[in-house]
Structure 1
Amino acid sequence: MEIRELGHLVLYVRDLDRSARFYRDVLGWRQILPVPGPDGEREPRRLAVFNAPSGRTHHELLLIEVGEDAAAQPAGRRVGLYHFGLKIGTTDDELREALATLREAGTPVLGMSDHTATHSLYIADPDGNEIELYVDVPGVDWEKPEETIGVPAKPLRL
């Protein structure tokens, strides 16, 4: 077996409408389902499907509503997803634009890091799923990952 690429993410969310607005209106994903009918009716199962504006594949993000009474993610060290990364461009200027968009939308920035290979902003979606928004640093020698991946992060100033 050979893994060719990361295909898609599926997240459980408490409030589908709130989460869909975040991923669509703040992060800029293209919502492809559900497509409301003529009277605004929805599918019986509450889900939303998105792909990136590039249209790289059929879908990259699926949200499934589980309701407001769903258990929260435990805080601190735990087994499971830490965060997922979304490449948003190739320059710090694009990262600055993203930072301005996040601030305008009232989305708190949890951290900003220079990882040598990437420059990153960290945020959380409305349910606390952590997201890394990053740009690759130009000129990094990917043939020497020991020099770029896993090195201690430095503060990032944009």
Structure 2
Amino acid sequence: MEIKELGHLVLYVRDIGRSVAFYRDVLGWRQVFPEATDAAGNPLRLPAAAFSSGRTHHELLLIEVGENATAVPAGRRLGMYHFGLKVGDTDDDLREALARLQAAGVTLVGASDHTVTHSLYILDPDGNEIELYIDVPGVDWKSDPALIAAPIRPLRL
């Protein structure tokens, strides 16, 4: 077996409406479900939502589990640390993303220059960490894979 690509990510969320507003309205991700309808043309009413950049049928699926769900624990723990979303190709694209985040009142929890990427880190409404990044133009990590492990530096936009 060989993995060809990461297909999609599924997150449990407390409130589907709040999370949809964040991923669709703040991050600008195209919602592809529940825009769908059943065979009779009735809107599907599931506590879930899916998003796609157009690369595949969905890259993110959110499933509502309710306000009483246990929060993601802080600090070192097993499980997901963060997931990355590419937001463009240049630092100008990353600056635009930062301005949009600031206008929406989203707190920045980190900003890093990873040599191969320039990255901003934020939390979604349920505390899942998201890396918003651009691949740094001209960095040839395929010819020099050690660049992937380069020391992390503060990001200067």
Fold conserved (TM > 0.5)?
yes
Q: Residue deviations 1:27-68, cap 9 Å, x none?
A: 11111111287xx9652x31001111xx11111110000000
**What amino acid does structure 1 have at the position aligned with 2:83?**
F
- State the SS of the aligned residue for 1:19: helix
Identity of aligned residues (%): 69
Residue 148 of structure 2 corresponds to 149
Residue 8 of structure 1 corresponds to 8
Residue 96 of structure 1 corresponds to 95
1:36–1:149 CA distance, 2 compared to 1 (3 A): closer
Residue 49 of structure 2 corresponds to 48
Mind listing any 5+ residue stretches in structure 1 that lack a counterpart? none
Aligned-partner Cα distance in 2 for 1:115–1:131: 15
State the Cα RMSD in Å.
1.5
1:17–1:136 CA distance, 2 compared to 1 (3 A): same
Aligned-partner Cα distance in 2 for 1:81–1:20: 20
What's the TM-score once normalised by structure 1's chain length? 0.92
Aligned-partner Cα distance in 2 for 1:152–1:138: 18
Mind listing any 5+ residue stretches in structure 2 that lack a counterpart? none
Give how far 1:150 is off. Answer: 2.0
What's the TM-score once normalised by structure 2's chain length? 0.92
| Structure 2 residue 19 is the aligned partner of structure 1 residue 19 | yes
Q: Post-superposition, which runs of at least 4 consecutive aligned residues in structure 1 deviate over 3 A? A: none
**What amino acid does structure 1 have at the position aligned with 2:89?**
T
